[in-house]
Amino acid sequence: MTQPVFVYSDDLLNYKFSNNHPFNPLRLKLTYELLKTSGILSDDQIVKPRKATDEEIALVHSEEYIHAVKQAGEGTLPETQAANYGLGTEDTPIFSNMHDSSAWLAGATLTAVENVFEGNAKQALSLGGGLHHGFRGKASGFCIYNDSSIAIEYMKQKYNARVLYIDTDAHHGDGVQWAFYDDPNVCTFSIHETGRYLFPGTGNVSEKGAGRGYGLSFNIPVDAFTEDDSWIPILEKAIDEIARFFKPDVIISQNGVDAHYWDPLTHLSVTMKSYKKIPQLVKNAAHKHAEGRWIAVGGGGYDIWRVVPRAWSLIWAEMNGIDLKGPLPKEWLVKWQSRSPVDLAKKWEDSEDLYTPIPRKQEICDKNQLMLTRALQHIRNEQRSV
Ligand SMILES: [Zn+2]
């Protein structure tokens, strides 16, 4: 059995908008070091990424947009034009060499794909990826090039693969959904906080795909304050039924961890319990339906000290069949506590009293359950009729 691959190098740390922007690449390094000091990431499992070529980026993005991103990174894109491409906004400001840094992230996810399809590994993790809001001709929500969309198109063209995309970020995976909305060989599933009060506002349960792709786009918008007790059983049902229905050749999972209670940008109440469970569910589905082929990418996550390193480490642990529990390594805590503005979490698990219980719990569970039913309705009907 081949061992999983961890795609990483310092080249991935240059995707940085500014010092006070919430999207902070330091979280990659924090995770890498946490895995190293935990003793569960060995040098022979690490693969250095490559940079995506312009042709590869153009599998999804327009040449005009790629050119604009290059110009922006060199400081030569006129301000009046930048807005047309979603560049230079508060969310997605222009930074030096932004094309190169973005191409490295896309290349990292392609490196993960190649390792899986060329037979070096069944599973690969590219935590620099997961930029699910990137559109064909427009940057959006901290995302410039959509590495997952590029990887999916690449897998389709080069390996003739049917791809299931599973997105558990707190925000709707809009960029990937719309890129493959009418594609019969790509199925997208996103669970996220309802778009009523949260960016990007889409991801309604009624968005089910179009044309030959109708019925292959799944959305479960959940209520604010949703907890593990609702999030986990819904995911368990959805992932199992969708994978069984679509029968993919490979699963690519986007692992934004901004649904955590501590995340400053969203309003959900998920804890480390969910972040331990999600990779288990995806891995099981990959084994049952895709001969074990699973590519995992990162995504959102804005409590970079207490949440992201622990949650992302759990994906790698699951790929390796390791159960992480109890205290975090002392060496890591000592090194990073002095730089962290908050008290670091000391254990892999969150404490049971992380937050004060809310009275509306049952109502939220019921509403979420209804969304699950509506999202899966058409495949359940189909199964009943055969
Ligand atoms: Zn997000």
CA of 197 to the centre of ligand 1 (A): 13
Q: Which of 257, 251, 245, 233 is nearest to 368 (CA)?
A: 233
CA of 198 to the centre of ligand 1 (A): 10
CA of 383 to the centre of ligand 1 (A): 33
CA of 133 to the centre of ligand 1 (A): 9
Q: What is the DSSP letter of 187?
A: E
- The pLDDT of residue 55 is above 80: yes
CA of 265 to the centre of ligand 1 (A): 8
Query: Which pLDDT score, from 0 to 100, does residue 250 have?
Result: 98
Mean pLDDT of 81-91: 96
Torsion sign (Cα): 170, 176, 182, 186: negative
Query: Which pLDDT score, from 0 to 100, does residue 1 have?
Result: 57
CA of 120 to the centre of ligand 1 (A): 30
Torsion sign (Cα): 75, 80, 83, 84: negative
Give me 367's structure tokens: 């509403």
pLDDT tens-digit series, residues 180-222: 999 999 999 999 999 999 999 999 999 999 999 999 999 999 9
- The pLDDT of residue 384 is above 80: no
pLDDT tens-digit series, residues 17-28: 999 999 999 999
Mean pLDDT of 147-160: 98
Mean pLDDT of 153-160: 98
Query: Which single residue is written with the structure tokens 């190098």?
Result: 9
Mean pLDDT of 224-243: 98
- The pLDDT of residue 11 is above 90: yes
Q: What are phi and psi of 231, to 5 degrees?
A: -55, -45
With beta carbons less than 8 A apart as the criterion, state whether 169 and 132 touch.
yes
Kindly indicate the confidence band of residue 2, based on its pLDDT and cuts at 50, 70 and 90: confident
Domains of the chain: 5-49+104-385 (3.40.800.20)
Q: Could you give the C-alpha distances from 271 to 227, 257, 276, 307, in angstroms and in order?
A: 8, 10, 9, 9
From the list 99, 133, 171, 192, the catalytic residue is 133
Mean pLDDT of 316-332: 98
Q: Could you confirm whether 133 is annotated as catalytic?
A: yes
CA of 142 to the centre of ligand 1 (A): 9
Q: Could you give the C-alpha distances from 272 to 228, 257, 310, 311, 365, in angstroms and in order?
A: 9, 9, 8, 7, 19
Query: Which pLDDT score, from 0 to 100, does residue 149 have?
Result: 98
Max intra-chain CA distance, the chain: 61
Mean pLDDT of the chain: 97
Give me 248's structure tokens: 């993919």
Q: How many Å apart are CA 137 and CA 117, to the nearest integer? A: 29
CA of 235 to the centre of ligand 1 (A): 17
CA of 222 to the centre of ligand 1 (A): 14
Q: How far is Cα of residue 139 from the mean position of the Cα atoms in its chain? A: 17
CA of 119 to the centre of ligand 1 (A): 31
Q: Rounded to two decimals, what is the model's pTM?
A: 0.98
CA of 210 to the centre of ligand 1 (A): 25
CA of 127 to the centre of ligand 1 (A): 14
Query: Which pLDDT score, from 0 to 100, does residue 383 have?
Result: 77
